Amino acid sequence: MSGNRELLESALARAAAEDRAALIAYLPGGFPTVDGGIEAVKAVVAGGADIVEVGLPHSDPVLDGPVIQTADDIALRGGVRIADIMRTVREAHAATGVPVLVMTYWNPIDRYGVERFTAELAEAGGAGCILPDLPVQESALWREHAEKHSLATVFVVAPSSRDARLAAITAAGSGFVYASSLMGVTGTRESVGEQAQELVRRTRATTDLPVCVGIGVSTPEHARQVAAFADGVIVGSAFVKRMLDAPDEAAGLLAVRELAGALAEGVRKR
């Protein structure tokens, strides 16, 4: 079975045709439990998410903030395995019909085996992978197998990326480009928002791929601001925090569904 990269491309194109940004929700797999994580994906889609990223919890999450680290720790202590992530992708996609990607550091894939990981992700109906720490110049093996299984390879660009590096990254990627912004960090919101907008402009100069912005986007107002200049708005920690703060799982699912609804409105006001 081939993966769902085309479904991802269609979801982004449909949002563009509606003159809005796509809402992309990130949730860690296995949090609060494997079953609970699957229900959380269903909840954010019911609220209005167009695309979902399922995080593969990792013991050394160098790019994740404390909220996602806390959720990852809960999932890892619960014994989450790659097989559980594949099950999450399979059941979440089957239940919602939206494209589901896996966001993971490279080390777990390397240990698991690239061929095995890509084959299983495609078989589960996955749309692709976001690989925040895989250098483009070391990605040929991954891209070969991802292409074979029709999986998107999403790389991350940052405000510090020089133009030549942006061009190399976007040439190697597929699906969309993940533009990392620190928008929303206390005290630097306005300037970082401008930084994100400039990064999107520079990235678009190198590619026709949609450019989606994440890191620090947490409120409908942030979503509206980012939707004015990006093709997609990625929200993760805000969903995870709602679940961590909830008194029980049912309340957490309701909270993330409500937040997704508010964010979905935000991305439509551009």
pLDDT of residue 217: 85
Q: Which residue has the tokens 């074979």?
A: 148
pLDDT of residue 184: 40
pLDDT of residue 62: 67
The catalytic residue among 9, 50, 64, 72 is 64
Which carries the bigger pLDDT value, residue 185 or residue 93?
Answer: 93
The catalytic residue among 9, 53, 120, 231 is 53
Q: How confident is the model at residue 197 (pLDDT cuts 50, 70, 90)?
A: very high
- Phi, psi for residue 126 in degrees, rounded to 5: -65, 150
Predicted structure pTM score: 0.94
Please indicate whether residue 73 is annotated as part of the active site: no
Task: Please state, rounded to an integer, the average pLDDT across all residues of the chain.
Answer: 92
pLDDT of residue 186: 34
Summarize pLDDT for 111-122 with one digit per residue, the tens: 999 999 999 999
pLDDT of residue 259: 97
Q: To the nearest whole percent, how much of the chain has pLDDT over 90?
A: 82
Give mean pLDDT, residues 174-202: 74
Going through the chain in order, the beta strands assigned E by DSSP cover 22-28, 51-55, 100-103, 128-130, 152-154, 156-157, 177-180, 211-214, 232-235
Type of residue at 231: D
pLDDT at position 267 over 50: yes
Superfamily of domain 5-267: Aldolase class I (3.20.20.70)
Which carries the bigger pLDDT value, residue 222 or residue 126?
Answer: 126
Give mean pLDDT, residues 191-219: 89
Question: How far apart, in whole angstroms, are the C-alpha atoms of residue 214 and residue 223?
Answer: 10
Please indicate whether residue 115 is annotated as part of the active site: no
Summarize pLDDT for 243-264 with one digit per residue, the tens: 999 999 999 999 999 999 999 9
pLDDT of residue 234: 95
- DSSP for 196-249, please give it: HHHHHHHHHTT-SS-EEEESS--SHHHHHHHHTT-SEEEE-HHHHHHHHHSSSH
Summarize pLDDT for 132-156 with one digit per residue, the tens: 999 999 999 999 999 999 999 999 9
pLDDT of residue 1: 63
Summarize pLDDT for 19-57 with one digit per residue, the tens: 999 999 999 999 999 999 999 999 999 999 999 999 999
Give the distance, in angstroms, between the CA of residue 261 and the centroid of all CA atoms in the same chain. Answer: 17
Summarize pLDDT for 84-107 with one digit per residue, the tens: 999 999 999 999 999 999 999 999
